[in-house]
Structure 1
């Protein structure tokens, strides 16, 4: 059953509000990227090699080999579930969507810096509490 015009307007308004409130979440929800199969094959191979080294280290009473196997296994699983980095693309909010649909760069996108973003969030929360 299709949405009525009122429901469509309310949905669009909710989308704009989400995008302006939390652009990072909105960006994450709209991305349709999937990890490639080769990424999982590499991670599976690494996990199998790590497990083999771990077992050989335990069977041969070689604790260093077991530790290396565990680290390789852990790194392979982390590689499988990590977000692939796209060249030069930085994460975080890039701007604020205004009511007319225009995107204006956010202060954090202009200034950057972890501490400045924390200070801005703190100031914004303090102002909202008044």
Structure 2
């Protein structure tokens, strides 16, 4: 059963509000999540070759072959399970027309986590809290 015009407009307004409030969440929800079959084939080949090398390494006096086989198996499983990297564009706010605007205050600066990674994380949380509180006024 198709949606009425009113329901379609309300749905579009909800989508715009979600995209405006949290662009990363909206992008994650819009992605299909399908992975390439080639990715799984390569991972499977890596696991099988790694298993063969592991068995050969256990049967032979050279243990380095077994270690290499184990590492190859582990890498194949991680490659199959891990999400592929995406190119991320600038994070911004989407206005009512669906246009992306740059974040307020210019470009965001990335901080290196370094030794004070936890304090940097807390600082970012505080900044986000302040921005949300200021937008609510």
After TM superposition, the score normalised by the length of structure 1 is 0.71
CA distance in structure 2 between the aligned counterparts of 1:123 and 1:82, rounded to whole angstroms: 30
Structure 1 equivalent of residue 115 of structure 2 = none
- The offset of 1:113, in angstroms, is 0.7
- Which moved further from structure 2: 73-82 or 106-115? 106-115
What is the aligned partner in structure 2 of residue 125 from structure 1?
129
Alignment partner of 1:106 is 2:110 = no
Say if 1:69 and 1:109 are closer, same or farther in 2 by CA, change over 3 A: farther
Map 1:1-130 → 2, pairs under 5 A: 1-32=1-32, 34-60=34-60, 62-85=62-85, 89=87, 91=88, 94-106=91-103, 110-114=107-111, 118=121, 119-126=123-130, 128=132
Q: How many residues of Structure 1 are paired with residues of Structure 2 in the alignment?
A: 126
More helix by share: 1
> What TM-score do you get using the length of structure 2 for normalisation?
0.69
